[in-house]
Structure 1
Amino acid sequence: MSSKIMYGIVTGALCASTAVQAQDYLPVLQYHHVGESTPFSTSVTPEQFTEQMDYLKTAGFQVVDLYQALEDLKAHIALPEKAVAITFDDAYRNIYLAGFPIMKERGFPFTVFINTQPVEQSNRHFLTWQQMREMESSGGVFANHTVSHPYMLRKLEGESDEAWLQRMTDEVDAVEDLLNKHLGHSPKMLAYPYGESNGQIRDLMKQRGIMAFGQQSGVVSADSDFENLPRFPASGNYAKLSTLKTKLNAKPMPLVEAQNGGDFATDQPVSLKLTFKEGKYRFTDLTCYVSGQGKATLDWVSDNEVVAMAEKPFPVGRGRINCTMPDYSGQHYYWYSNVWIHASAELGYVSEKS
């Protein structure tokens, strides 16, 4: 399968600004919990979150509304220089209790992708609709994370392909209905639970006009797949400010095309073929890392085409290849990531051809 990257031509709108510098890409930060006793891998402490938000302020980053920034990128309209967006997955109440006051004090907009089942059940660990309405008045936006946070590519025992797809459709549509019912509107954005999607799920998003995010790292540009957008995790092992600074200064890898062989890995090692746009790049400094394996082997098949190869097959679950390359200024890294799922029959994943 070929993951075509739309090749956009930046219009005069991007170049029109003379007094104010602008950028044609957007790093998006992903959080879950803001707390001291929540799971480490998906948490930042209030102190860490304050440090990160203070850095955004003092370093001159412009925290922008995610939906409007995505619409501008699609239309080739320039974003402010050092634009960045803030997102949270799941509807945890600690976002309201610990994260919201920090963002409100600094005037930062943010987006929360909510799974509505615990909200509707009045689970005390999750947001209420009233809290969401309060947060909306200070820059909060609430978007779709499905009803029950399922693995969207797993079928129930005995479930047909048609029944599975209908169930996933209902998971998405029900949240859209609840957003409109309780908040009066929906931004038509979704984050895939666990970052998992396939062509059918992405087609479902496209049919509904929903922009959707995976969990692969990278920055959004007009060339991105708007049904499978990247974000940078900023919690757990990624909460250190030094790590965050590198991501905030990332640029989109200048690609014409990325061929990944499909959404699913097999019992063979994966590979990723990258075709670069015309330009002068530091190809000798391109490095690709395979999750759990270290550096990928790079095979340059032409002057602007490289194949990054894993050494070993992925274990069952999600695996990825992350590729980075410094630009000539030395201040930014180009960044691209691809995720595969190594399915097993026991987990009930849909087939590649479903």
Structure 2
Amino acid sequence: MKYLKTHGYKVVPLKTIVDYLYKRQPIPDKTVAITIDDGYRSTMKAFKILKKYNFPFTLFLYAEGVARFPAYLTKGELREISKYPKVTFGNHSYKHFRFAKMIKTMPLDKYVKMIEKDTLKAEKRIEKLTGQKPAFYAFPYGEYNRVYIETLKKLGFKALFSQDDSAVSSLTSPFLIPRKPVVGSWSKMIKFERMLKKEPLPVIKHIPPIGYIKSDMVDIEAVIKNPKSYKSCQIYISEKGWMRAKKKGNTIKLGKLIKITKWKNRISVECYDKKTKRFANYIWMIIH
């Protein structure tokens, strides 16, 4: 937090980022929003630091766990946090299951009803504990699929959040907003600085699409804006690692089919911005 304060970063409420996306306005450089997931007891330590710097933040609550299980915030702690005028609460599900994966084994109608039931149950409990009705939802484990997204949209959420390690641009959908996870080794200062400096790659469309795909053979390509601004493009897939990509016109691709075996993979397209001399990336997730 000290780094953000002393290096010219503007920490804004999450709603500010969402408003930029709805208006399709460019997000000013060095604009940051802070989120915390789950609601572990350690949140109190973070809360004291955030309050010290007068930073706004959003706390996505695992509704079954908070004020119930020992590792999570108590009712009293939630009341204390709720009094801070710069906190907003988000929905992080009731059960915190791997909902995105469950689409593989359930009839579609039952799957949708399960998501609806869990989400509304979480919403009711979060509102009771905090006095706020969440407008934002963070996917448990950062995992999502198209049906999951559409179900939450129909429930009235204004924005949905993943854990895809990418920056946000005016092209970002409000219903799939990436967040940079600052956990474990990624919380080391050298990686934190690198993370903050990485730009969003302006991807217009890509294949495969997000979410559940039946085939275990995938072709990967992305169409970008301003292709002449970028060079040294690579494509990453979780179970394969980094692979050199071909850039032809505004399309970046591997040019060959890749066999996948894991149920979940994140795909990243990364290029070097010749003007800013910074790397830019775009990430999405597929389920097989």
Which residue, out of 253, 256, 266, partners 2:204? 256
Q: CA deviation at 1:256?
A: 2.0
CA distance in 2, matches of 1:85, 1:276: 25
Over the aligned positions, Cα root-mean-square deviation in angstroms equals 2.5
Classify 1:266/1:159 alpha carbon distance in 2 versus 1 (closer, same or farther; 3 Å): closer
Question: Which SS does the other structure have where 1:286 is aligned?
Answer: strand
Partner Cα separation in structure 2 for residue 147 and residue 239 of structure 1: 27
How far apart are residue 203 of structure 1 and its match? 0.7
Do the aligned residues in 1 keep the contact of 2:216 with 2:261 (CA within 8 Å)? no
Is the 1:324–1:333 Cα contact (8 Å) retained in structure 2?
yes
Please tell me whether residue 151 in structure 1 is matched to residue 88 in structure 2: no
Q: What is the aligned partner in structure 1 of residue 120 from structure 2?
A: 173
What TM-score do you get using the length of structure 2 for normalisation?
Answer: 0.88
User: Is 1:298–1:308's contact at 8 Å kept on the other side of the alignment?
Assistant: yes
Q: Tell me which residue corresponds to 1:335.
A: 281
Query: Is residue 290–residue 310 contact of structure 1 (8 Å, CA) maintained in 2?
Result: no
| Preserved contact between residue 63 and residue 108 of structure 1 (Cα < 8 Å) | yes
Mark the runs of 5 or more structure 2 residues left unpaired by the alignment.
Answer: none
Report the AA paired with residue 313 of structure 1. Answer: K
Please say if residues 93 and 127 of structure 1, whose CA atoms lie closer than 8 Å, have aligned partners that are also in contact.
yes
Note if contact 2:123-2:133 (Cα within 8 Å) is conserved in structure 1: yes
* 1: CA distance, partners of 2:79 / 2:156: 24
Could you say what secondary structure the match of 1:146 adopts? coil
For the residues of structure 1 that align with 2:105 and 2:221, how far apart are their CA atoms? 37
For 2:20 and 2:102, the matched residues in 1 are separated by: 37
Question: Aligned in 2, Cα 1:78/1:292: closer, same or farther, shift over 3 Å?
Answer: closer
Amino acid at match of 2:170: A
- What is the distance in 2 between the residues matched to 1:78 and 1:299? 28
CA distance in 2 between counterparts of 1:150 and 1:271 reads 29
Whether the 8 Å contact between 1:256 and 1:275 is mirrored in structure 2 is yes
1:332 Cα deviation (Å)?
Answer: 2.9
**Pick aligned residue for 2:51 from 104, 120, 128:** 104
Higher mean alpha-carbon deviation, 194-203 vs 269-278, is at 269-278
Shift of 1:77: 4.8
Equivalent residue letter for 2:43: I
- Determine the structure 1 residue equivalent to 2:20: 72
Secondary structure of the residue that 2:150 maps to in structure 1? helix
Instruction: Please give the alpha-carbon distance, in whole angstroms, between the structure 1 residues aligned to 2:98 and 2:63.
Output: 15
How big is the shift at 1:84? Answer: 0.6
**Contact 2:169–2:202 (CA under 8 A) maintained in structure 1:** no
2:37–2:61 Cα contact (<8 Å) kept = yes
What is the aligned counterpart of 1:303 among 241, 246, 249?
249
Identity rate, percent: 26
Counterpart for residue 231 of structure 1? 179
User: Cα offset for 1:328?
Assistant: 2.5
SS at match of 1:258: strand
Q: Is this contact kept in 2: 1:269–1:310, CA < 8 A?
A: no
SS state at 2:117 partner: helix
Greater displacement, 266-275 / 160-169: 266-275
Displacement after TM superposition at 1:183 (Å): 2.5
Secondary structure class of the residue paired with 1:220: coil
* Separation of aligned partners in 2, 1:264 and 1:291: 16
Q: Give how far 1:129 is off.
A: 3.6
- 2:61 matched residue in structure 1: 114
Q: Is the 8 A contact 1:261 1:272 kept in 2?
A: no
Q: Distance in 2 between matches of 1:308 and 1:252?
A: 20
SS of the residue 1:93 aligns to: coil
Residue 216 and residue 101 in structure 1: after superposition, are their counterparts in 2 closer, same or farther (change >3 A)?
same
User: How many equivalent residue pairs?
Assistant: 286
How has the CA–CA distance of structure 1 residues 55 and 237 changed in structure 2, closer, same or farther, with 3 Å as cutoff? same
Shift in Å, 1:261: 4.3
1:125 to 63, 71, 90: 71
Q: Distance in 2 between matches of 1:282 and 1:77?
A: 22
Length-normalised TM-score, structure 1: 0.73
Q: How big is each residue's C-alpha offset from its partner over 1:54-81, in whole Å with a ceiling of 9 and x where there is no partner? A: 2111111111111232123322456554
Pick one of 35, 40, 62 that aligns with 2:10.
62
